[in-house]
A and B are shown apart, each in its own frame.
Chain A
Amino acid sequence: MRTTRQERRRTLQRSAEARVPPAMRGPVALSILPALVLFALFFLVPLGVLAVTTFARWDGVDFAFTGWDNYDRLLSDPVFWKSVRNTLFYCAASMLIQVPLGVAVGMTLALRMPGWTVFRTVIFIPFVISGAAYALVFSMFYNPSYGLLNNLLGPVTGGTRDWLFDSGTARWAVAGTFVFIIGFVVVAVMAEVAAIPAELLEAAEADGASLVQRQLFIVLPLLRNIIGTVILVRLLVDIGMFDLVYILTAGGPNDATTTLALYAYRSYLHGQWGYANAVGSVILLLGATLIVTVRRVFRIGERAL
């Protein structure tokens, strides 16, 4: 394994040397310098600050290193674990409902049935609405006094329910606001389907494969790369989910909807900046783990054909 890596590095080095003539290396290095400086200033420095301050008690005024105290506290903090569970719940909702639904709709629309362009536009519109505006709309939708949901369900359930502030339904109500926003998945899938060589599908049709068989056994496997990518994008959004929950419930009731990002923000508001950064480091770690896992599972980047 090590030999392979070394060989790959040498190959890359040789190919770089071949591409950049020696006389040009100075100007090339100079041209990427501003980007490097900005990267260091706005990414590496904050990352370093985040990493260092997770080992400190810091409220913006007083700063003292406290070793692993913040991480010890995280492990025994029930609200933190609730936040982890809630964040993973939202991730699961995206993976199990939003993405499959988006893929199914995208594959169907890619068949270009009558009216598909209108349908695609209608589905895509919610995606471009800001999260804050969406949250406000849904806070009215779920309102127990005048909300549409209670008006629709009232005749069936015989009463009203405060969907957002009942611990039994709050998390589902929050997830319900975003799992049906499938515009991005639909458009990405449609673009990928359009890139599948028509000969493949024609050959399958000539061999007697039905439409469903062609979709399930030819199109769907070829969407592996894009499905992995949209799952990755969705998970990264869900791991940092903040505005939707903040506006809808502020994390309540009894932290039933709190996410890691919201919990970090609350800790920051409470002057526990070191602890907030420890939560932030968990978000980073979780994000990195999910990226690696999804890339491996879906073999993102490897050619399907």
Chain B
Amino acid sequence: MRVIRTVVAATTPLILTGALTACSAQDGGSPVNAAGEIEITCATCQESTTDPFLQFNYEAAQRFNEAHRGRYRVVTLRHANAGSGEARLPYYQRLAMANDLPDVFQLNSAEIESLSSTGRLHDFAPELAADAEWSASFQPRAFDGLSGPEGQRWAIPQQQDPVGIFYNRELLAHAGHDAFPTTWDEFESMAADVRATGTTPIALDGDWATILMWSNLIGTHPEGAAFLADEIATSDDWSANAAVVAATERLRSWHTEGYVNADAFSGDFQNAASKYLAGTAVAIPNGPWFVKTNLRTSQAAPGLYEDTEYVPSPGWGASEQGLIVVSGAGWVSGTADPTRLEAVEAFVRFMSSTDEVVEQARSTGSNPPVTVPAATLAAAELEPLSSGLVGRLPEVALTYPHARVHAPGGIDAAWKNLWPAYVNGEIDTAAFLSRLAADSAVGG
């Protein structure tokens, strides 16, 4: 019996230690490979046949490796959470706990806000401050949602897009309208005419697209832009804001009036997209990447691309049209190793170079986060529908961020849960907005 006890006592700690050691993260090891290159890991550079952004990152990483052969090398990490989805943040949180974040990867603004609290994200502010030319190359507001309260720059912007509304010119003409409305009153009048033809006026999904329209309604309200830029982050009761109440009730009325597709609560954007792509909905809000990911695919009805226009949002008054302008996501780094940081800086500079942002615009339809000379853009022959709204930015009266940019991180889940109950009349506007604020903050 004593022998057994001895064996158990000796082996158990060894096995446990071995297992724990195997599970624990290692940030050590030389960053220099056999070829003398500094290697960095990228968690959003994997090949993808379905995500054009991941595919572009993969191709860009190969170009980077080629351009910096002998000095730096990006090694691709493959994992299921690379693209997007609510499991992505917990995945990186676990890696942050283990001090095993990738050297470079992409996050959206809400994820950045959450992950920055771990203290594991690199602050790019010193590098940007040291290079005035690089810093000045970014579009105004490109760092919205990517910065910290004390001037930290947690990410290098990946894109900056004006987000508008796609509409089907033919279906609109069929309802007796020549042009997309410029005020919300006209929009509702148009929606009533469209509904009378048996077509859905606007396709929404109960999540992304619905919140886009909510942002448009708030952002174009005379008192709304301040809410999207600031109050949404600081207020714990959104029902106190008159603009938000008016916008929310107007958006709800579109559902009760039948201006929205019947399955507008699923939270699945493809439910909304399929209506537009099949030619059974007149309009759908989305970013310019919609052209590449949906309109130019075989899912779209023949001739739909040619019949589609991309326009700013209507406003509450005449000449008060608006556009959501959003960076939304950026390149972050999880390394603190100076050698690796040298390669990370080279990589993010490469990704924000004119050549790469123009190539990204070509590949994904997203617009450059840096200022690109007009002649260069013209020569690039970008997809006209995707890039069309950029040219219209100067003539649009109001620009504002998407509600997601400054809202607490839980807004999507809270919206999906509460919006159907609110539209169905189970809770009133004040209760909906109060709970939305509270639940978003819990989720953030």
Contact = CB atoms under 8 A, between A and B. Distances in A.
A271 B416 CA distance: 19
Given A144-B262, A266-B413, A252 B421 contact: yes
Nearest to B206: A165
Interface in B241-268: 261-263, 265-267
Interface stretch (B9-17, B39-47, B150-158, B314-322): B9-17
The secondary structure that dominates the B interface is helix
A167 B263 contact: no
Contacts of A143: 263, 266, 271
Contact of B266 (A165, A255, A269, A272): A165
A252 B420 contact: yes
A256 B96 CA distance: 34
Contacts of B426: 167, 253-254
A200 to B, nearest CB: 50
A166 B114 CA distance: 32
Interface in B1-55: 1, 3-4, 7-8, 11-12, 15-16, 19
B298 interface: no
A25 interface: yes
B443 interface: yes
Contacts of A41: 15-16, 19
Interface residues of A, number: 33
- Bin the interface of chain B by size: 35 or more
B97 A270 contact: no
Given A26-B3, A269-B443, A254 B118 contact: no
Contacts of B3: 26
Given A60-B94, A61-B117, A271-B114, A145 B261 contact: yes
Contact of B96 (A61, A254, A272): A61
A167 B427 CA distance: 11
B1 A25 contact: yes
Contact of A254 (B15, B89, B206, B427): B427
The secondary structure that dominates the A interface is loop
Contact of A166 (B118, B206, B424, B443): B424
B418 interface: yes
Given A33-B7, A162-B262, A254-B421, A269 B89 contact: yes
A225 interface: no
A250 interface: yes
Interface in A75-90: none
B413 A250 contact: yes
B263 to A, nearest CB: 5
B86 interface: yes
Given A60-B93, A253-B424, A269-B89, A139 B266 contact: yes
A41 B262 CA distance: 50
Interface in A136-181: 139, 143-145, 160, 162, 164-167
Give the residue among A167, A254, A255 with the most B Cβ atoms within 10 A.
A254
A167 to B, nearest CB: 6
Nearest to A257: B417
Interface string A18-33: 0000000110011001
A29 B4 contact: yes
Interface in A39-90: 40-41, 60-61
B417 A253 contact: yes
Contacts of A251: 417
Contacts of A30: 4, 7
B263 A253 contact: no
Contacts of A167: 420-421, 424, 426
Interface string A268-286: 1111100000000000000
A162 B263 contact: yes
A37 interface: yes
12 contacts: A37-B15, A61-B97, A144-B262, A165-B206, A165-B420, A166-B424, A167-B421, A252-B418, A253-B424, A254-B418, A254-B420, A256-B421
Closest 10 CB pairs of A and B: A254-B421, A253-B420, A165-B265, A144-B262, A165-B420, A252-B417, A253-B421, A145-B263, A29-B4, A270-B443
